[in-house]
Chains A and B, each alone.
Chain A
Amino acid sequence: MSSESEEHNNVILELKGLKKYFPIKRGVFQRTVGNIKAVDGVDLAINRRETVGLVGESGCGKSTLGGSIVKIYDATEGEINYYPQEKINGFQEFDLTEVEGEELMALRKEIQMIFQDPYSSLDPRMSVMDILKEPYKFHGEEKSRTQIREEIEQWMKKVGLRTTHLNRYPHKFSGGQKQRIAVARALCLDPNFLIADEPVSALDVSIQGQIINLLKDLQEEMGLTYLFISHNISLVERISDRIAVMYLGRLMEVAEGEELINNVLHPYTEALLSAVPIADPEVEKERIILPGDPPSPSDPPQGCLFHTRCRYAQKICQEETPALNEVKTDHKAACHFAEELDLQSAAPEAV
């Protein structure tokens, strides 16, 4: 067999030129006058059992990217190839942008998502029992009621909650506990791929660690693959194998975590790292403060998307869009000068 099938054995999800545009409509006839380019051509391959961290500022399209994978949004263009571990309906490869009907239902079981705000992702009028039963209602037909109940009780214990709380309603729980319920709901159907969209940013610092530890333990136990979306690069670095940095709908840099923070190749990553506050009062560092705000995704700049705020920008940056090239082994960057620039890496003690 060729190397291609081997590669597919390793890759679980592959995004190819993924685009998601939201049309801007105006006037009586709701004519489309423009597009918000939330995701604008993303290529990314995620390997089995790895954690890929997706970082970027708000509005960079990271949540839209996650949403496109679970088909909350229909992709405008491009492919989302999913390779399940075992054949589903006799197929080994699915393009998630095209599947529908029964196949889609089967795949929904495989790919799950946890949302940012546990306060709004749990229905306040459903008890925890009802919330956790919901996935089985759609995907667990072959299981008996007692079986389902047993499984739910096991899941409560797994995520560190008491089974006696099953009849309580969400308002009785703290933010951290609610997020634990959301984790149980996402994982109870034994998926292979989990998208965690800012799962801890609504939680207190001391609780964040507990949820991260829980996610890590479950990943090991169940052999899960994570796409971890967050704006907090220190957190992402802590738990991810690889990190992808996103800006205005495109990936700027992709590399293994340690490599990314120690050998920065893209000026945007450099600025992002330098903006991270340092938890040491005695370290003084020169911060790169990016001028202005990110440009609007409805009217992104010509050429390199980052050139309007980049301190190394030259003429070519305004004219040509750099491709995401492999500058070093397993280290990709979308910058014309990735090989020439000598960028600051993260300061020690940055939090």
Chain B
Amino acid sequence: MTDAAEHSRQNTIKRMDKSLEKDKLLELKNLKTYFDTPEGTVRAVDGLDLVIPQDTSVALVGESGCGKSVTAESIMGLVPKPPGRVMGEILYHRNDEVLDLTELEENSDEYCDIRGNEISMIFQDPMSSLNPVYTIGNQVMEILLRHKDITKSEARQKSIELLDKVGIANAEQRIDDYPHSFSGGMRQRVVIAIGLACNPRLLIADEPTTAIDVTIEAGILDLIKSLQEEYKTSLLLITHNLGVVAQIAEKVAVMYLGEIVEYGPIKEIYHSPLHPYTRGLLQAVPVLGRQQKEKFETVRGMVPDPFEIPAGCRFSTRCDHKEEHGKADKVPPFLEPEPGHFVKCWLYEESDNK
């Protein structure tokens, strides 16, 4: 990276920090997660800067293959190495100390004490994230016994409370059931109970409702939101559906091909999206009761091959505005056209009122 580019990056980070209203909890700085494969290096996450403040819900939105799940796995220390490589900084702020998670050994006691305890994660598919040969109670108690200094019977009592809290009726009896006797929605509730068991400071939810029916989805999202508020947990919600995040997130980061192309408060993203990609994504979501016979507005083309990421602006192969500025072959800067609203696009200029 050239000095000028690095300088502007640092500047933007400073301004991003300034736009925060709360203390930082987790900070991703120039995060790069690469995978070395026989065909070449896949740059799944490529220079990502993101801050998750305390007690805030941040949504990371993007299409499949844009690197959003890999970002989560990098934070959790779940990237297999090799073929994976995690570079950059993942700064975790706790009690006046700052820990760089990339420098910790994945299996070290220190990381294991954080994982599941202070930072926990809910995965997409509740069918495969629960072990079929252990009872529900076993799996909830496991995390409590690992991280908390409590007896088995206390852990059981706490598990029943947790299951009750996530809306499982008859928790006292159902705790001894196996996952197969739970429906998809119920299993996801169990997974949420496990995620929140140790009262984590950050909960990462990776597409928590994608595998679930819409009538159940609403309930799960409401549950995550209310528990996040109650426990004062930060939330990193990863999803491909911009419709889902409107009701739940405070800040939104839109990701494309391993980098963040737009970041801002939820209202700004919805009402005045800046990046052509964000606009395309918003238009692609069908809305009830709006002119139905019209054609779908879509983002044309498709996500480029991970081995052939376009040089310069990565979105240029699908952008309708690249003729307007003629700079598609250069990497656009990450700008702040409006206070607190950042975009990586040549179409905009820095606002004057900094």
Contact = CB atoms under 8 A, between A and B. Distances in A.
Interface of A: 57-58, 174-177, 204-210, 212-213, 216, 231-235, 237-239, 257-258, 261-262, 271-282, 287, 289-290, 292-293, 346-351
B292 A239 contact: yes
A210 B221 CA distance: 28
- Size class of the B contact interface (CB-based, 8 Å): 35 or more
Nearest to B211: A58
A334 B105 CA distance: 60
Contacts of B246: 277-281
B286 A234 contact: yes
Given A281-B266, A287-B218, A349 B213 contact: no
Contacts of A212: 296
B292 A238 contact: yes
A235 B266 CA distance: 23
Contacts of A206: 63, 280-281, 284, 298-299
B171 to A, nearest CB: 14
B303 A205 contact: no
B295 interface: yes
Interface of B: 63-64, 169, 183-186, 213-219, 221-222, 240-244, 246-247, 266-267, 270, 280-290, 292, 295-300, 302-303
30 contacts: A205-B63, A205-B241, A205-B281, A206-B281, A206-B298, A206-B299, A208-B284, A210-B300, A212-B296, A232-B286, A233-B288, A234-B285, A234-B288, A235-B286, A237-B288, A238-B286, A238-B292, A239-B292, A262-B289, A272-B214, A275-B214, A275-B217, A277-B241, A278-B247, A282-B267, A289-B222, A292-B169, A350-B287, A351-B241, A351-B287
A346 B242 contact: no
Contact of B292 (A257, A273, A274, A293): A257
Contact of B270 (A233, A275, A281): A281
Contacts of B215: 57, 271-272, 275, 290
B289 A281 contact: no
B267 A281 contact: yes
Contacts of B270: 279-281
A349 B222 CA distance: 18
A207 B296 CA distance: 10
